[in-house]
Amino acid sequence: MTRTPLSDVACSIARATDLFGDAWTALIMRDVLVGIRRFDELAEDLGLSRKVLAARLARLVEEGVLTRERYQDSPPREEYVATEKGQELYPVLLALMAWGDKWYAGPAGPPAKVRHDACGHVTTPVMACEACREPLTVADTTQLPGPGGKVGTGTRLLGPLIAAREAADPSPAPSGSR
């Protein structure tokens, strides 16, 4: 089955999903970010075919999400390490984990917990406003047009909807906001 590329859609979710459009890529990143970095270990942990794993890893390296670093010279062996771009995916994976824990954990509870090392507390990740630190929800946020927005494939209805929201309430954002 051929996937339609989303890299030209004027939507950051679509563009990110173009890279992470399959579960294996997210699970590879989960493993690398928690410390499973070698090819054979990734293959063993995920139970993924070596061909699929190699293709996903190559794409993550090509996109600058992972880099290969040599850990042994003879014979040459490399491991995968998250770049800054890759490390910034961690909150995305935590948000997906929190949602999965809430809706799919089952009676036994979540399969893993997250401890915030700075304070020592086990926590549930929360997406919060950069300015006031209040949690963000669908009920108290509004998407507005951005400078790269355009109407086209993947945004034929969304683009005009978002533009109409700003036209309906053109009040400027509070000072200090972006």
Span 25-82, pLDDT tens digits:
999 999 999 999 999 999 999 999 999 999 999 999 999 999 999 999 999 999 999 9
d(CA 111, CA 101) in angstroms, rounded, equals: 8
Q: Give the pLDDT band of residue 20 (cuts 50, 70, 90).
A: confident
Share of the chain above pLDDT 90, in %: 61
Token duo for residue 119:
């304070």
d(CA 37, CA 18) in angstroms, rounded, equals: 23
The residue-averaged pLDDT of 158-164 equals 86
pLDDT at 3: 66
Q: Answer yes or no: is pLDDT of 1 > 70.
A: no
Q: What is the mean pLDDT of the chain?
A: 89
pLDDT at 172: 59
pLDDT at 178: 43
φ, ψ of residue 68 to 5 degrees: the values are -100, 130
| Long-range interactions of 86-91: CB distance < 8 A, separation 24+ | 86/29, 86/32, 86/33, 86/60, 87/33, 89/29, 89/33, 89/65, 90/33, 91/125, 91/127
pLDDT at 171: 65
By the 10 Å C-beta count (0-12 exposed, 13-18 middle, 19+ buried), 158 is classed as middle
Q: Are strands 114-115 and 122-123 parallel, antiparallel or unpaired?
A: antiparallel
Q: Give the pLDDT band of residue 15 (cuts 50, 70, 90).
A: confident
Share of the chain above pLDDT 70, in %: 93
Q: Which residue has the higher pLDDT, 14 or 49?
A: 49
Q: What is the pLDDT of residues 79-99, one digit of tens each?
A: 999 999 999 999 999 999 999
Q: Answer yes or no: is pLDDT of 150 > 80.
A: yes
By the 10 Å C-beta count (0-12 exposed, 13-18 middle, 19+ buried), 36 is classed as middle
For residues 120 and 64, the answer to whether their CB atoms sit within 8 Å is no
